[in-house]
Structure 1
Amino acid sequence: MIKLYNRTLSFFNTIEGKIAFYPTLLALGGFILSFSMMLLEENGVSKMILETFPRLMLQDGDTALTVMSTCVGGIISMMVFSFSMVMLLLSQASSNFSPRLLPGLISDKIHQLILGTYLATIIYFIFTLFSIEPDDEKYTLPGMSILIGILLTIICLGAFIYFIHNISQRIQINNILDDIYSKSKKRLEEVICLEDESSDRLKSTFPDSKNWYSYSTRRSGYFQNISISNVISFCKDEDIQIYITIPKGFFVLSHVPFIYTSREISEEKLKRLLANFNFSRGELVEDNYILAFKQITEIAVKAMSPGINDPGTAINAIDYLTELFTIRMRKKDNGVIVKDEAVYAKIAVVSFEELLYYSMASLRTYTKHDPIIVQKLLWMLGYLLNQNAEQNEYIEIINEEIKALKEDAKHAFGNERDFKAIMNLPIQN
């Protein structure tokens, strides 16, 4: 039951990021509501309300049809406009910032819920219209259903106003950066908390997997997530150890070794093991904090391109990178999975050195011509030198990046004054 629950939860987390998930659920809710109201109308609920609050009921079928038809047409127009605004947001974010931002923007629950509210109301009106005839009198009209439809229309109007406000906020780069940072910080802190205190001591006990049995996946895609508890249970049941060769967030090719096991397993057991891995064609920061470093780095690089030329955005992006690297320095470069003082598996991880190099290599290449940005990068690296590091090697890695950045600046700057300003920055070692 626990394994089934974990797999169901993983599946739900995957489909929840699809733009059609919540609209589909709400549309189904509108369909169910319309038929529920038909059953209540057959039991005379409108007649009882008419006798108690007659002013809430419409008087004839023509008026009811006119009101409901007008509401449907207006909501369809709002839905089309809202959908157009979402597409505009995605297009602008892709062209001005980074295409990697699209999965996170598409999975915004606010946009999905608003579009779903429109769709649910339209479906409710359509099926309610089937029960109205032009010559119906007030005692035979589904007055309660019409009243609920009018209330849903008012809710849609409020949702439309909130949508305009939300879309105007979401399109601002400061809010985009803050959203990426918040999600990645939460995920990174979760990973740090899950690290077992004894994992570093047991790291040396994990055997060499060179002569182990290798297995590949049957499909390609980004290695998005893994059910740790299910993998540990599998290792316990089969009395084996496994090594996962691809870090989370990387693209896994089919028929390329993905898993090494300490002893041979059958095809059926391999399928059961691979069922605990989630692959996708997209990536979300909530599942992989590495993506946040990629996205923020690409935003900074794109901001410094000649077509955009926005140093302010690049500086803001570097500030957020500084905070994320500070948190990352509290994490070990260790992918060993430990449970009850026993080592069951190991996952290849993106080390701090690789993560810092990938970010700094792009930033050095595309921003080294701007002395202000170079000073900001040196300030970031100098700040990291003074932070608590989980491993002493992190400090040496940062010093190497400082040397590389100054070397690039030496060849990029044609002005001696700019170069002296860089070299004279107070960076404590």
Structure 2
Amino acid sequence: MKIILRKLKTFFTNIENQIAFYPSIIAVLGVLFAFIMIYLENLGASKYFRNNIPLLVLDNADTARALLGVFIGGLISLMVFSFSMVMVLLNQASNSFSPRILPGLISNRRHQLVLGLYIATLLYCIFILVSIEPTADKDKIPGFSVLISIFLTVFCLAAFVYFIHSISQSIQINNILENIYDSSKSRLNKLIDAQNGNPVVFPETEQWKKYNSNRSGYLQTIAMDALIEIASEHKTKFKILVAKGNFILDGVPLLLSEKELDEKVAKEALSTFIFAKGELIHNNYVLAFKQITEITVKAMSPGINDPGTALNAIDYLTELLALRMLKKDTNIYTKDDTPIVYETSISFKELLYNVMASIRLYCKHDIIIIQKLMVMFKYLQYQHCVDKSYKESIVHEIKTLAREASSSLSNQSDKDVLNNYLKGFDINLGNGS
């Protein structure tokens, strides 16, 4: 039962971020609301309002059909235009910035709710139109339901204005970077708050039993509470061999266990690993570094040539790296002060190298970007960190960047600027340091 519930949770997590998820749910609610209104009409809702508040109820079947027909045609046009606009802007964002940002834009709840409102109102109007009987009896005309459709259509027009404003704002690079930064910052703060302040030693794992993945996909997240419960129940310890965010192939070693597990328990332990075909920042903060780095590289590519965007992206990278320096490289989960699960994660050194390796390739010839990176490193050197090796990694990246920039810069004035920054770090490349 636990495995089934976990699979249902995984399925819901995967489809929740699809662009059609919330619109589909709201559309179903629109249909249900239409049937409720038809039921109320059969009970005499319109007749009641016609007798007490006649201004709220239409008493002409032809007028009701005409209004609903106009609403249906207008909403279809509105919906087609909105979906077309979303597709065009997503294509533009992919070409100008990075394809990795598309899942974040598609999963925007506000846009999904607006599109869902269009569809729900459209379906509501269709069902109310069909329910109008070809009779001259005023009591059979769903005048009150038609009035509701008028309010819903006006609300859709207001939502359309909001949609135009929101989609035009969300596609701007500053807002994209801000959303990526906020999601990653939130995830990092949770990890920093959850980490154990005291050093924890995990036992050697050379003789432990190895268990392979039984499916493929991106390791999106891990149901850690369930895995800890399994380890505690069967008096064993686990070591997770793969970091979250990596693409896992079927049959690749995924988990080590201190004790050998029977087939049922092993299957239950492997079911705590939640896979997906995409990546989400709120589950894996490393993806934010990948996205911001790709935006920086894309901005500095010859086809885009937008150093201003690259400078903005580096500012966000600086803040995220400073926050990452407060997190330990090792994630060890304990129960009753006993280490029970070791989670492999990307180290600060590896993270910084992956970020700088891409940026150096496209930015080493631009002294403005080099200056910005040097300012970033200077800031990071003064930040508090939980491991002294982080500062050593920063110095190593400064030297690597300086060497590549020095060989790429042809102007002596640019080289002098670079050397002035290196003096501030007390680094002299001339002696091979």
TM-score (norm 2): 0.95
Aligned to 2:239, what secondary structure does the other structure show?
strand
Determine which of 415, 419, 427 is the counterpart of 2:424: 427
Alignment pair present for 1:330 and 2:343:
no
CA distance in 2, matches of 1:239, 1:173: 50
CA distance in 2, matches of 1:241, 1:341: 13
Q: Residues 60 and 134 of structure 1 are in contact (CA less than 8 Å); yes or no, is this contact kept in structure 2?
A: no
Q: C-alpha displacement at 1:6, in angstroms? A: 7.0
The runs of 4+ residues in structure 1 deviating greater than 4 Å are 1-11
Partner of 1:351: 347
CA distance in 2, matches of 1:134, 1:170: 47
CA distance in 2, matches of 1:3, 1:339: 22
Give deviations 1:133-174, integer Å, cap 9, x for gaps. 343433221112111111111111111110000111011101
Partner of 1:20: 20
Deviates more, 1:155-164 or 1:266-275: 266-275
Letter in 1 for 2:69: S
Partner of 1:174: 174
Q: C-alpha displacement at 1:339, in angstroms? A: 2.4
Partner of 1:212: 208
Q: Residues 212 and 262 of structure 1 are in contact (CA less than 8 Å); yes or no, is this contact kept in structure 2?
A: yes
CA distance in 1, matches of 2:204, 2:11: 33
Any gaps of 5 or more consecutive residues in structure 1?
A: none
| 1:63-82 paired onto structure 2 within 5 Å | 63-82=63-82
Aligned to 1:139, what secondary structure does the other structure show?
helix
Partner of 1:310: 306
CA distance in 2, matches of 1:329, 1:17: 30
Letter in 1 for 2:155: I
Partner of 2:131: 131
Q: Residues 7 and 227 of structure 1 are in contact (CA less than 8 Å); yes or no, is this contact kept in structure 2?
A: no
Partner of 1:101: 101
Letter in 1 for 2:40: L
Partner of 2:402: 406
Deviates more, 1:212-221 or 1:227-236: 212-221
Partner of 1:192: 192
Q: Residues 59 and 143 of structure 2 are in contact (CA less than 8 Å); yes or no, is this contact kept in structure 1?
A: no
| 1:280-295 paired onto structure 2 within 5 Å | 280-295=276-291
Q: C-alpha displacement at 1:8, in angstroms? A: 5.6
Give deviations 1:114-145, integer Å, cap 9, x for gaps. 11001111111121122103434332211121
| Cα pair distance change 1:416/1:341, threshold 3 Å | same
Q: Residues 210 and 257 of structure 2 are in contact (CA less than 8 Å); yes or no, is this contact kept in structure 1?
A: yes
Q: C-alpha displacement at 1:308, in angstroms? A: 0.6
Any gaps of 5 or more consecutive residues in structure 2?
A: 427-433
Q: C-alpha displacement at 1:427, in angstroms? A: 3.3
CA distance in 1, matches of 2:39, 2:259: 62
Q: C-alpha displacement at 1:105, in angstroms? A: 0.7
Q: C-alpha displacement at 1:9, in angstroms? A: 5.2
CA distance in 1, matches of 2:325, 2:12: 32
Q: C-alpha displacement at 1:7, in angstroms? A: 6.5
Deviates more, 1:282-291 or 1:124-133: 124-133
| 1:1-400 paired onto structure 2 within 5 Å | 11-198=11-198, 201-202=199-200, 204=201, 206-400=202-396
CA distance in 2, matches of 1:229, 1:284: 20
Q: C-alpha displacement at 1:194, in angstroms? A: 1.1
Q: C-alpha displacement at 1:58, in angstroms? A: 1.4
Letter in 1 for 2:113: L
User: What percent of counterpart residues are identical?
Assistant: 48
Letter in 2 for 1:227: A
Letter in 1 for 2:131: S
Q: C-alpha displacement at 1:11, in angstroms? A: 4.5
Aligned to 1:215, what secondary structure does the other structure show?
strand
Q: Residues 22 and 116 of structure 1 are in contact (CA less than 8 Å); yes or no, is this contact kept in structure 2?
A: yes
CA distance in 1, matches of 2:217, 2:41: 51
| Cα pair distance change 1:73/1:375, threshold 3 Å | same
Q: C-alpha displacement at 1:191, in angstroms? A: 0.9
CA distance in 1, matches of 2:196, 2:52: 66
| Cα pair distance change 1:367/1:136, threshold 3 Å | farther
Partner of 2:429: none
TM-score (norm 1): 0.96
